[in-house]
Structure 1
Amino acid sequence: MSQTVTIRLSDELAEWLEESAARSGVSQAEVIRDQLEKARAGAAQKPFMRLAGSLDGEPDLSQRKGFTRPSQG
């Protein structure tokens, strides 16, 4: 492990990181690595999301017969 990354955190996020590391008894770097691994694993579990927004069809289903809202009044 030799890659170093420098980031700027908001005060709120820095406080959360410090508290999380203290609560779990690991370094802040370990908390960050763990969260990055979780994010990577979560992205791999949703391969269907690459299709989001790429399908053709009615832009508003409510315009199609059977999907209209009943008129009020």
Structure 2
Amino acid sequence: MSPIPWDQPATLIDLDGKAPLIATVRDCATHFAMFKPFAKEQARVLLTQPVHREGRKTRTWLLEPAEIEQLAQRLKDEG
């Protein structure tokens, strides 16, 4: 996955119907890190700019839970 700027606007949504979080990628990753495992499985991030994924011909607007987890880990590693 291409690096995503922390200040890019994004929306954290879940498939369980809770209200979305409209914020930055950083805020979405921070909130995701606090979720319980069930909530993490239901979470998705809708980006305002699509990103390239390795092995895919087209860019994507939606991040899956494993990709959001990578962002949360990157945020933790950066301190």
* TM-score w.r.t. length of structure 1: 0.33
Q: Which of the two has greater helix per residue?
A: 1
Q: Which of the two has greater strand per residue?
A: 2
Comparing both chains, which one has the higher relative contact order based on Cα–Cα distances under 8 Å and sequence gaps of 6 or more?
Answer: 2
Q: Which has the larger radius of gyration?
A: 1
